[in-house]
Amino acid sequence: MTFTTSLRHPDEADSALGTWFKTYAPWLLLFSLVGLLYGIAEYIPWAFKYPREWVIPLRFWISDAVKWLYNDATFGLFTFKEFTRGVSWVLEWPLTLAKSLLSTGFLQGQGSDAVVVWPRLAWVALTACAVVVALAVADIGLALLVAACFLYLAVFGQWESAMVTSSSIVIAVPLGVAGGLALGIAAHRHPIFEKILTPVLDLMQTVPVFAYLVPILVLFGFNPVAAMIATIIYAMPPMVRNTMLALHRVPAEIVDFGHMAGCSKRQMLWKVMVPSARGGLMVGVNQVIMLSLNMVIIASMIGAGGLGRDVLTALRRLNFGAGLEASIAITLIAIALDRVSHAFAHKPPPVHGKNARIFLGSNPYLSIALLTIAGTWALGPVLPAIQTYPENWQVTTGPMVNDLMQWLNVNFFDTIEAVKSWLLINAMIPFKRFLLSLPWIALVAVVALSGYRLGGAKLAVLVSCLVTFIAVTGQWPKAMVTLYLVGISVFIASIIGIPIGIWSARHERADRVVKVIIDTLQTLPAFAYLMPVVMLFRVGDFSAMLAVIAYSLAPAIRYSNLGIRQIDPALIEAATAAGCNRRQLLWKVQLPLALPEIMLGVNQTIMLALSMLVITALVGTRDLGQEVYIALTKADIGRGLVAGICVAFIAMTADRLISPWSVRRKKLLGLE
Amino acid sequence: MDIRDSAPKKVKLSCSNLWKLFGQGADRFLSTNKNPSHQAVVDAGLIGAVRGVNIEIHEGEIFIIMGLSGSGKSTVVRCLSRLIEPTCGEILFDGSNLLEASAKELIEIRRHKMGMVFQHFALLPHLTVLGNVAFPLEIQGVDRKTREQRAIEIIELVGLEGREAYYPRELSGGQQQRVGIARSLAVEPDIWFLDEPFSALDPLIRREMQDEFLRLQSVLKKSIAFITHDFDEAIRLADRMAIMKDGEVIQVGTPEDLVMRPATEYVAEFTKDVPRAKVLTVMSIVHDAREGHAYDNFVLATDKIDAVAERVLDAKHGFGVQDESGRIIGEVNQEDVTRILIGRG
C-alpha cells in the first residue's frame, strides 16, 4: 500500500471552481441579460433611450424656486433681495479699499471727475515688498523668482490688469480662509454639523464652477463683488476640509494635556489646537490661494475685470497673442504665490535664538518694506517711472505669437490635421457612438452591481440612484458625451502618467525632474492649458481632450510614484534576497502592493478631468459642460444647476466605487 | 508585616466601584447588570475598559498602576482625572466627589491641583521650553514675569537650565520628558499623574530618568499615580502598586507583598523572575535580638536587602536591625541574606 500525499485537498478543485463561479456568475448573468435586452430592443425602446415624457422637469422647478426666493421671499425684517444687497454692500468696502491701494489710487469724486487724492502703491514698492516677503519666508532663490514674476508683469504691460485681479484675490483669500476655518472648527466641535457639512463639501467640490456661477449671477448681478463671492465659495471647501483634518490629527495626548492644564474652550482652541494644527491649516491656506487664482478667468464671466477678462476676451476673439501674455501673467502670479505660501507652510521648525516672528516686532524685513513704500511715495511725483512703469519701456510679444501661429498653420496644418482626424475617426467617434447606443438601464445595472460587490447594498443603492438621476432629469445623452471625453482622456492620462510615476519612483534622478514638472503642472490654472491647445488644434473634442489630459496628468504620476515609494523597504530587501530581478521585483512585488494607491491616483485623475472638461465647453464640446455654459449665458439657474449636479454625480459615482475598493485592498494587503 | 502600614495614611484620591464600558448602551447595560463578568460584557458587544476598580492613593506616596497594554490602566487614570467620564462609580479627591464637580469647578481643580505627564510628552511644538513650562500658569492668567520666573525655577529643578529658549524638536527624548515633568509641576499640583512617562525612552535614559524621578519625589513628596507596563520599573519606583488585567485590579500591595504573596497565577508569573533581594526589606528576615548582645553595626528595617547585603556579608559579627526611630528590633544573619541573594525566597 502506498501513500500518495496530495497537496490538494480533494474538495479544493471544486471549491476553487465554486469561488470562481461566485465571483463571476453575477456578471455573466448581467451581461447575458443585457444581451437579451438587445434581442428584444424593439419591444422596449424605453430601456435604450430614456423617454422624453418621463423626464422630471427639475430644472424648471429650481428656476421657479429661485425666482420666488429673489422676488417674494422675506425673513420678516428684510427680504431676500435686501439680504443679498446687504452682503454685496458689506463686501464692496474691502474690495474698494484694496483696489484703491493696488490699482486706482484713493479717489475723491465720482466717475470720470474723480481726482486721485493719494496714489496707489508704486510698482517698485510692491515688487520690493514681495521680494522682502520671499526673503523672509525662504531664501534668495525664491526672492529672485518672485522678482522675475513681478518684472514680467511690468515689462509686458500686464501690470494694470494684474493689480485689478490682485485686489480681488487679496480680499477673497483672507475671507475664504477665515470662513473655512470657522466652518471647520464648528464641524470639529459638533459632530452633527460635520455630518451635514461633509456631503455638502463633496457636492461643492465636484459640481463644476460654472453651475454655481449662475445663481450668483442672478442673485448678486454682474459685477466684481459677485465675482469675488463666487471665488470665495469656490476656494473655501478645501480650507474647511483641511481645518477638520488638521484639528482631528492633533495628537490625543496634546488634547488631554490642554484639558489637564485647565484650558477653557477658547484657550483650548486658540492656544492648543490651532497652533498644534498649524501645518495642516497652512496647507489649506495654500489651496485657497491656488483655487482663487484658478477662478480668475472663470470669475470674469460674471464681472471680474483684470487678467481674467483679458484672457477670456482673447479666447473669444481667437487673438492668441494678447491672450497668451495674460495667461502667462496669471500663471506667474500663481507660481509666485504658491511658492511663497508653500515656503511659509513648510518653514523649517523654529530654532532657538532665531527670531521666529516675521511680521512683528523690530525686524529688518518689515523696516525695509516700509522704507521702500515711503520712499516711492515721496519720490513718485518727481520720478513718475517709479510710480508707474513707463509705457514706452513695455514689450509685447503679441504680434510675434500671432506670426508664429500663422507660420505653424502654414507649415504644419496638414500633419496636425492628419493626426487629429485619424484619432477622431478611429478611436474617439466610435467610442462615443458606442456609449450613446448603450441602453441606459444596462449602465445603471452595471454600476449597481459594481457597487454591490464593492460596498454592499447601501453603496449599490447610492450609486444607482446617482446614475438614475442623470437619466430622470433628461441629461443622459449629454452625460454620455461627457463620459466619452472623460473616459478617453483618463485612459490616455493613465497610460502616460502611471508608467512615468513608476519609472520615476525607481530612479532617483528622474524623480527630482519629474517632481518639479508635476509641481509646476499643478500650479497652472486650468485655463492656461486651453490657450496653447486651441492655438495648435483649434476648437473641438480633440483639443478638449488634449487639455483635459494635460490638466489631469499630475495625480496619475504623483500617486503611482507614491504607491511604489511607500512600499516597506524590508519587503524589497526580502524580494531581492529571494533572487528577484528588477522586472520580477516590479511585476510581482511593487505593482501589486502599489495598485491601491495607483487607483486612488486614477480616481483623482477622473475628478480633475471632469472639472477641466466643463471648462473646455468654451472650445466647443457638446456635453454637460456645454449645457452649464449655455445656462450661464442665459442666466438659467435650473438648467445650469441640473447639468452641474449631473457632472457632480458622475464624479461621485466614480469616487464611491474606486475609493472603497482601494481602502479594502489596502487593508487586505496589510498596508493600513 | 510591613512597617509602612503601621502609620495610618491620609487618602488623597480614591475611587470605588469604578466602571468604564465603551460601546452603545453601556449605561443601560450597567444599570441592569450589577457587577457583570468579563464574558458578559463581551457578549453584550461592549468593551470593558475598567471594571469595578477600587483604588486609594495616599498622600505623599508613589502609587503605581501596572498592566499590559489593553489592561485598562490608562483608562483608569483618565477616569481619575475625568479626561474620560466613567460609566459609573465614585471618585473622591480630598474627600469631595470629583464626579459632581461642574465643568467650571473641574477647570479650577485641574488648573491648581492636578498635573499630568504623558507618554509621548505632548509638548506644544510652537512654544519654547520656557513657554511650555509656563503654559499652565499662562492659562491661569498669571502675569508674564511671575510665570516665567516660576518656570525658570522648575526648569532648573529638572536640570534643563540653559535650554529655556530651545524648541521641543531640538531636544532629545529624555530632555523633552524633563520639560513635560517640569510643566506638570509648574502649578505645584496636589496629585501628580504620570502616564507611562518613560516608556518612549531608551533603556539607559529610562533608568536615568527613574533615578531623577525618585530624587524629585524625595524633595517634593507628591501624591502620585504612575502608570507603567514595565514590571521592573514598577517595583523599582512603587511605594504601593496595583496590577490590572482585562480592566480589573487583580492585586494591590507593596512590591514586597506582590512578590511574597502573589494573589493569582498571573501575578506570580510576573514576579517569579524578580530578584528577591531588590524587593524584600531587612524586616522580612529579621530575627529576635539576642538577649544582652551589643551590636557594633546596624541596618534599618526598611532597607532593601540588596542595598545592605555587601556590608552584612563582609562583617564578622551579626548586624542589629533598627526601626526608623532607632529602636533595636532584632538582628539579621548572613545565612538569611545569602539565601535571599541566591533567590531561594
Question: Does one domain contain both B283 and B299?
Answer: yes
Give the cell for residue A147: 522678482
- Check pLDDT > 80 for residue A182: yes
Contact A253 B122 (CB under 8 A): yes
Higher pLDDT, A118 or B94: B94
Averaged pLDDT for residues A501-524: 86
DSSP B254: -
Residue B261 sits in a domain of what CATH number? 3.40.50.300
What span, in angstroms and rounded, lies between the C-alpha atoms of B133 and B115? 12
Tell me the pLDDT band of A4, cut-offs 50, 70 and 90.
very low
Tell me the pLDDT band of A358, cut-offs 50, 70 and 90.
very low
Test the B interface: residue of A282, A352, A358 with most B CBs within 10 Å: A352
Q: Of A260, A350, A351, which has the smallest distance from its Cβ to B116's Cβ?
A: A260
Q: How many CA atoms lie within 13 A of B184 on its CB side?
A: 30
Does residue B174 lie in a domain region? yes
Tell me the backbone φ, ψ of residue A671, rounded to 5 degrees: -90, -10
Averaged pLDDT for residues A270-279: 92
- Check pLDDT > 90 for residue A81: no
Question: Does one domain contain both B170 and B284?
Answer: no
Does residue B119 sit at the A interface (CB-CB below 8 Å)?
A: yes
Question: Does one domain contain both B205 and B313?
Answer: no
Question: Does one domain contain both B252 and B188?
Answer: yes
Contact B167 A271 (CB under 8 A): no
Last residue of a domain, one of B221, B244, B275: B275
What span, in angstroms and rounded, lies between the C-alpha atoms of A285 and A281? 6
Each as own residue / partner, the long-range contacts of residues B133-136 (CB below 8 Å, 24 or more positions apart, any chain) are B133/B179, B133/B182, B133/B183, B133/B186, B134/B186, B135/A261, B135/A271, B135/B183, B135/B186, B136/A261, B136/A262, B136/B111, B136/B183, B136/B184, B136/B186, B136/B187
The structural domains of chain A, with segments of one domain joined by +, span 58-100+169-346, 413-438+475-668
Query: What's the pLDDT score for residue A353?
Result: 61
Question: Does one domain contain both B73 and B144?
Answer: yes
CA-nearest of A606, A515, A600 to A559 is: A600
Question: Does one domain contain both B307 and B320?
Answer: yes
**CB contacts, 8 Å: A278 with chain B:** 126
Does residue B332 lie in a domain region? yes
What span, in angstroms and rounded, lies between the C-alpha atoms of A50 and A52? 6
Distance from CA of B106 to the nearest CA of A (A): 8
Element (H, E) at B50: strand B47-58
Cα–Cα distances in angstroms (integers) from residue B229 to residues A266, A628, B66, B67, B243, in the given order: 35, 62, 5, 5, 10
Question: Does one domain contain both B156 and B296?
Answer: no
Q: How many CA atoms lie within 13 A of B231 on its CB side?
A: 19
* DSSP bridge pairs for A108: A115
**Residue that the C-alpha cell 449655455 belongs to:** A630
Query: What's the pLDDT score for residue A252?
Result: 93
| CB proximity list for B40: less than 8 A, separation 6 or greater | B33
For a pLDDT cut of 70, what percent of chain A falls above it? 95
What span, in angstroms and rounded, lies between the C-alpha atoms of B30 and A361? 58
DSSP B260: H
Give the cell for residue A166: 490682485
Query: What's the pLDDT score for residue A357?
Result: 47
Residues in chain B with pLDDT values less than 70: 1-8, 344-345
Give the cell for residue A400: 510675434
Q: What is the pTM of this model?
A: 0.82
Question: Does one domain contain both B159 and B181?
Answer: yes
Question: Does one domain contain both B195 and B301?
Answer: no
Query: What's the pLDDT score for residue B345?
Result: 54
Averaged pLDDT for residues A155-166: 90
For the segment A553-575, what is each residue's pLDDT rounded down to a tens digit?
Answer: 999 999 999 999 888 888 888 98
Contact B116, B193 (CB under 8 A): yes
The CATH code belonging to domain A58-100+169-346 is 1.10.3720.10
Higher pLDDT, A464 or A67: A464
Question: Over A178-204, what HEC string results?
Answer: HHHHHHHHHHHHCHHHHHHHHHHHHHH
The burial of B104, by beta-carbon neighbours within 10 Å (0-12 exposed, 13-18 middle, 19 or more buried), is given as exposed
Question: Does one domain contain both B157 and B306?
Answer: no
Query: Mean pLDDT across chain A, nearest whole number?
Result: 84
What span, in angstroms and rounded, lies between the C-alpha atoms of A298 and A165? 12
Same fold, A58-100+169-346 and A413-438+475-668: yes
Does residue B71 lie in a domain region? yes
For the segment B321-343, what is each residue's pLDDT rounded down to a tens digit?
Answer: 888 787 888 888 888 888 888 87
Does residue B115 lie in a domain region? yes
Residue B329 sits in a domain of what CATH number? 3.90.1280.20
Query: What's the pLDDT score for residue A350?
Result: 66
First to last CA, chain B: 16
Higher pLDDT, A58 or A258: A258
Does residue A257 sit at the B interface (CB-CB below 8 Å)?
A: yes
* DSSP bridge pairs for B67: B244
Last residue of a domain, one of B220, B247, B275: B275
Give the cell for residue B197: 512617562
Query: What's the pLDDT score for residue A669?
Result: 83
What span, in angstroms and rounded, lies between the C-alpha atoms of A52 and A46? 10
Q: Of B107, B119, B124, which has the smallest distance from its Cβ to A262's Cβ?
A: B107
| CB proximity list for A4: less than 8 A, separation 6 or greater | none
Tell me the pLDDT band of A261, cut-offs 50, 70 and 90.
very high
Q: Homologous superfamily of A413-438+475-668 in CATH?
A: MetI-like (1.10.3720.10)
Does residue B113 lie in a domain region? yes
Cα–Cα distances in angstroms (integers) from residue B77 to residues A547, B9, B227, B264, in the given order: 59, 21, 8, 24
Domain coverage including residue B189: 58-82+98-275
Question: Does one domain contain both B76 and B202?
Answer: yes
Q: Of A254, A261, A278, which has the smallest distance from its Cβ to B110's Cβ?
A: A261
**CB contacts, 8 Å: B81 with chain A:** 260
Query: What's the pLDDT score for residue A437?
Result: 86
Does residue B43 lie in a domain region? no
- Check pLDDT > 80 for residue A671: no
Total domain count, chain B = 2
Query: What's the pLDDT score for residue A349?
Result: 66
* ipTM of predicted assembly, 2 dp: 0.87
Last residue of a domain, one of B230, B257, B275: B275
Please count the residue pairs, one from chain A and one from chain B, whose beta carbons lie less than 8 angstroms apart. 69
